[in-house]
Amino acid sequence: MTSTIHAGPITADHIAHLPAPAQRYLTFTCVPGRPADVSFHATAHGFFRTRPNQRWIACTSEQHNDATDLTRDFRLRLRLAHLIPVRARDLYEEGHGRMHATALGLFTVADGQGREFDLGELVTFLNDAVLLAPSMLLCLPVEWTAIDEHTFGLTLTDHGNTVTAQVTVDDRGAPRVFTTEDRWAVLPEGPRRTRWSTPVDGWCLVAGRMRPRRGTAVWHLPDGPFAYAQFDYTNADITYATASG
């Protein structure tokens, strides 16, 4: 079923048609009783690495996601060897995704675009909504599907791009992990479609909203899982705009 924007507070009736684990998820994340979120801006601190055997590097992320035009602007800042500033930007707008990173503000160290990035950035937008702005899913062209008592599926379509994911929740409805096959890992032999997941380490209540304590991004490579990014959302600065303005 396609999602629509609700002008007023979301009620139990608005989510009654969804699979049971999805209803528990939206209830656990305090969605009923407030208007749907149409955008959010978040700044968080965490750690990043580019190889499984590399040490973690402290980083800061800043992003803006908007459901009204389905855009995602994610920026990452870190310092290699504590000295060399690296800036990376992941962008999704008008159906196209791009990843671009520079060192010292001068040298391009990564640059990717094309179909793989269109789908990868769109499914990452979906992941952000699941973890940081659950009610935003009710403003998006999302199809919800039942899988089992602890798992539901999501399908999001935009500008001819369609991505799917699964969300596994506990008995309370708290998400444990988001998983998708619609991302491509950049490997030595080139981009390769690879299972990607974001397991969640606990949840906390902040300003009347549930948010992850910590989220990790993991590539499931042939040699085993590779966790490459971790973010602490407990003290993250997150602001929201709702459907009511």
Q: What is the pLDDT of residue 110?
A: 87
With pLDDT > 90 as the criterion, what percentage of the chain qualifies? 88
For residue 4, is it within any domain?
no
Q: What is the pLDDT of residue 105?
A: 82
**CB < 8 Å & 24+ apart, contacts of 219-223:** 219/185, 219/194, 219/195, 220/194, 220/195, 220/196, 221/185, 221/187, 221/194, 223/52
Note the pLDDT tens digit of each residue in 27-76: 999 999 999 999 999 999 999 998 898 999 999 999 999 999 999 999 99
For residue 140, is it within any domain?
yes
Per-residue confidence band for 189, with pLDDT thresholds at 50, 70 and 90: confident
For residue 64, is it within any domain?
yes
Question: Which residues form the domain of 214?
Answer: 12-50+57-242
Residue 5, pLDDT > 90, answer: no
| Cβ contact 93:110 at 8 Å | no
For residue 31, is it within any domain?
yes
For residue 155, is it within any domain?
yes
Q: What is the pLDDT of residue 127?
A: 98
Residue 199, pLDDT > 90, answer: yes
The CATH number assigned to the domain holding 103 equals 2.50.20
- For residues 224-243, give the mean pLDDT: 96
Note the pLDDT tens digit of each residue in 131-142: 999 999 999 999
Please state, in angstroms and rounded to a whole number, the distance separating the CA atoms of residues 109 and 91. Answer: 16
Q: What is the pLDDT of residue 186?
A: 84
Who contacts 106 (Cβ-Cβ below 8 Å, separation ≥6)? none
Number of domains comprising the chain:
1
Whether the model pTM is above 0.85: yes
For residue 6, is it within any domain?
no
Please state, in angstroms and rounded to a whole number, the distance separating the CA atoms of residues 174 and 26. Answer: 9
Burial of 223 (0-12, 13-18, 19+ CB in 10 A): exposed
With pLDDT > 70 as the criterion, what percentage of the chain qualifies? 96
Q: Which residue has the higher pLDDT, 187 or 221?
A: 221
Per-residue confidence band for 245, with pLDDT thresholds at 50, 70 and 90: low
Residue 160, pLDDT > 60, answer: yes
Q: What is the pLDDT of residue 216?
A: 98
Residue 222, pLDDT > 70, answer: yes
Q: Which two tokens stand for residue 20?
A: 């049971």
Q: What is the pLDDT of residue 1?
A: 39
The rounded mean pLDDT for the chain is 94
Q: What is the pLDDT of residue 2?
A: 43
- For residues 63-91, give the mean pLDDT: 95
For residue 92, is it within any domain?
yes
Q: What is the pLDDT of residue 82?
A: 81
What is each CA distance from 73 to 43, 62, 91, 125, 222, in whole angstroms?
A: 12, 8, 5, 9, 30
For residue 153, is it within any domain?
yes
Task: Report residue 132: phi and psi, to 5°.
Answer: -110, -20
Please state, in angstroms and rounded to a whole number, the distance separating the CA atoms of residues 232 and 216. Answer: 9
